[in-house]
A and B are shown apart, each in its own frame.
Chain A
Amino acid sequence: DAKTTQPPSMDCAEGRAANLPCNHSTISGNEYVYWYRQIHSQGPQYIIHGLKNNETNEMASLIITEDRKSSTLILPHATLRDTAVYYCIVRVSGSNYKLTFGKGTLLTVNP
Chain B
Amino acid sequence: DGGITQSPKYLFRKEGQNVTLSCEQNLNHDAMYWYRQDPGQGLRLIYYSHIVNDFQKGDIAEGYSVSREKKESFPLTVTSAQKNPTAFYLCASSIGDNQPQHFGDGTRLSIL
Contact = CB atoms under 8 A, between A and B. Distances in A.
Q: How many B residues touch the partner, as a band?
A: 20 to 34
Of B56, B59, B92, B98, which is in contact with the most chain A CB atoms at under 10 Å from its CB? B98
A93 interface: yes
B42 A43 contact: no
Contacts, number: 56
A81 to B, nearest CB: 16
Given A96-B56, A103-B41, A104-B42, A42 B105 contact: yes
What DSSP secondary structure best describes chain B's contact surface? strand
B98 A93 contact: yes
B56 to A, nearest CB: 7
A104 B30 CA distance: 28
Interface of A: 32, 34, 41-46, 49, 87, 91, 93-94, 96-104
12 contacts: A34-B100, A43-B103, A43-B104, A44-B92, A44-B103, A45-B103, A46-B102, A46-B103, A97-B33, A98-B45, A99-B45, A100-B42
